[in-house]
Amino acid sequence: MVKFFLKCIVLCSVLLFGVLIGMQQANQGMIKMKGYNDPDFQGAFQIDSNETGDVEASILGNEVTSQDLQKKQEQLEQIEAFNIFSQLGKQFANIVSSGVSSLLKIVTELMDG
């Protein structure tokens, strides 16, 4: 199960990276087709460094900073602090697991007896 999730995550990452590269290639093709560099056209992702040496990144025109990532991490931690659906899912999984294991015990006892 862990291998399956790992494969899915790797596959999704590769596909996302491929989509971003494709968007960048389409942008370069539009610039070549137009014949001149239009500053309104922006790439799918851009990485720039400013005069202080900090690196700025933008994906699809939205700037990504470490503060944004920290805020998102805090939001995820708050969401995971209490999620009623997650708790209900865990309880349901426990009930189903115990039901299936007891059913298997009964079936094996009947087959042995």
Which domain range does residue 99 map to?
84-113
Read off the pLDDT band of 45 (50, 70, 90): low
More confident residue, 60 or 86: 86
The whole-number average pLDDT for the span 12-32 is 87
The whole-number average pLDDT for the span 9-30 is 89
Do residues 54 and 31 share a domain?
A: no
Do residues 24 and 53 share a domain?
A: no
The whole-number average pLDDT for the span 38-67 is 67
Do residues 22 and 53 share a domain?
A: no
Distance CA 33, CA 22 (A): 16
Beta strands (DSSP E) in 1-113 are: 45-49, 55-59, 62-64
Q: How many domains does the chain have?
A: 3
| pTM as predicted | 0.34
More confident residue, 47 or 75: 75
